[in-house]
Amino acid sequence: MAAIYPTVPAFVSTEPNRLGADALLYVLEYHTTYTVPDLALYGAEKAAVISIAARDVHPAVLQRVNRAIDLIAGEIRRRAAAPAELPPAAEPPAAEPPAAGGQRVRPGKAPRPNGPPSSFADRINALYATREAGQ
């Protein structure tokens, strides 16, 4: 039976003034930044830094918030490095016109190499070729 994982709800902020704080709470709870908009990520980063600025923060809370800051900062960098839109598709090369006229020629056999064989398989093939030629 296949494992069924719970779905992560999309980020929704109820109040525009709490956008950064809501985004920080979302990242802390779900450990993802996929559905969080850019403006909310910037606000969440600021809210995270302000939240750990106090000196009496418990080490476990500090560790969770630092992980959230790492996620948020990484996502901001990734989104900034990604192109805003995809470049236009390249035009396919123009097809060459078919050759007009001329006589058809059958391709010949490739000439045998004159140099020494480069591997064991080449030496075996050369041995069989000389045996066949001698018969």
Are 20 and 43 a contacting pair, CB within 8 Å? Answer: yes
Least-confidence region, from 7-16, 22-31, 112-121: 112-121
Q: How many CB atoms lie within 10 A of CB 76?
A: 16
Are 8 and 18 a contacting pair, CB within 8 Å? Answer: no
pLDDT of residue 113: 64
Residues 126-130 have a mean pLDDT of: 76
pLDDT of residue 92: 60
Alpha helices in 1-119 (DSSP H): 19-30, 38-51, 59-81
Q: What confidence tens digit (pLDDT) does each residue in 98-111 have?
A: 666 667 777 777 76
Q: What is the pTM of this model?
A: 0.57
Residues 21-45 have a mean pLDDT of: 93
Per the structure block, which two tokens stand in for 62?
Answer: 């500090």
- Pairwise pLDDT comparison (83 vs 56), residue with the higher score: 56
Buried b (16+ CB within 10 A) or exposed e, 36-70: beeebbebbbebbeebbeeeeeeeeeeebbeebbe
